[in-house]
Amino acid sequence: MFVLRPSSARSAASRHYCQRTSYRVQKLKVTKLVDTDSQAVRDVHCPTNRDGSDAALAEHISRVPAGYLRSLAADTGYDKQALRKALRELGIRPLIKHRVFAPYDHAHNARIDEQRYNQRSITETVNSAVKRSLGFAVRARSWFREFREIALMCVVYTIKRAVKQ
């Protein structure tokens, strides 16, 4: 089972540096696809802008390693019928809780396998381990270098996990 989890981190630039270089500090949004069995990061996505929904991003990410995925767990931020439909077409079981707007949404949420859905917490463990061992912030200033730095952090973490096992 794979889980999507967004995270963001950025190193703090001094106020003097920001004024001198006309630099604006922005948060970087990172979405990781984590294998809950091995705690390996399988895919990383950093959008160039913060527009759009998380569900559209999840659909894009789920297409990349579709051969690996059997089920995908995500929080209610990814609740979108088009995403559920796209995942089912790829043969992936969506474990995404519905936002509660009507009584039948409670019924949909009750049918979700809680044990599998609660494995989402493993992604928090992975995010925490990456931050503790490799640092919580990126130091690069351009988007491509930020992405490269985050991807390398995830690769190093995954290799460390593989060596330990």
Render 43-98 in DSSP notation, one character per residue.
EEE--SSS-S-HHHHHHHHHHTTTTT-SEEEE-GGG--HHHHHHHHHTT-EEEEPP
Domain boundaries, the chain: 2-164
The whole-angstrom separation of Cα 58 and Cα 60 is 5
- One-letter amino acid at 5 equals R
pLDDT score for 156: 92
Query: Residue 145 has which token pair?
Result: 């270098």
99, 82 Cβ separation under 8 angstroms: no
Task: State the fold for domain 2-164.
Answer: Nucleotidyltransferase; domain 5 (3.30.420)
Mean pLDDT by 10 residues, the chain (165 residues): 52 68 70 85 79 73 70 82 87 85 82 83 86 79 83 92 87
